[in-house]
Amino acid sequence: MPAQEQKALENDDIQTLFERLKHEVERAGAGDGTLRSRARAAAERFWPVSAERPIERRPGAKGLVAYPVKQVLRRLMRWYVEPLAAEQRGFNDAALKLIDDLSERVDRERAAREEAERLLREAEERL
């Protein structure tokens, strides 16, 4: 094979590699700013549902009376609310795991499709 043909093939390989890397970077997004990573961060932040939320005291006499009443009501209602919160946490955990699995599957399928398309293009070029 002459040197010019070999150099042309190397340039084509470099160009193909560059295009592939560029496509992967575009697909992956720019770091933590992607929609997927922001949505995942929000899901991680909110999945642990609990009956325990901070009670805020209002200013004035109304707040002075309402704050202790709210504390007592919270203790009295915990037995009723906590089982629902526990079920919700279980569901949220399962949903996040399922979404992660589906996301990985989609990424693998996309990569396989791109590889098949690349092989098809190479086969067409050889013919």
Question: What range does the domain containing 61 cover?
Answer: 34-126
Residue 85 contacts residue 51 (beta carbons within 8 Å): yes
Is 64 a domain residue? yes
In a domain, 104, yes or no: yes
Is 61 part of a structural domain of the chain? yes
pLDDT of residue 32: 47
Q: With respect to residue 6, please indicate whether it lies within any of the assigned structural domains.
A: no
Span 37-66, average pLDDT: 80
Structure confidence at residue 5 as a pLDDT band (50, 70, 90): low
Q: Is residue 17 part of a domain?
A: no
Q: Residue 88: inside a domain, yes or no?
A: yes
15 occurs within a structural domain = no
Using the predicted structure, report yes or no on whether residue 65 has a pLDDT greater than 80.
yes
Is 50 domain-assigned?
A: yes
Compute and round to an integer the Cα radius of gyration of the chain.
28
**How many domains does one find in the chain?**
1
Give the residue from 33, 38, 79, 72 showing the smallest Cα distance to 55: 72
Tens of pLDDT, residue by residue over 17-27, are: 767 766 766 66
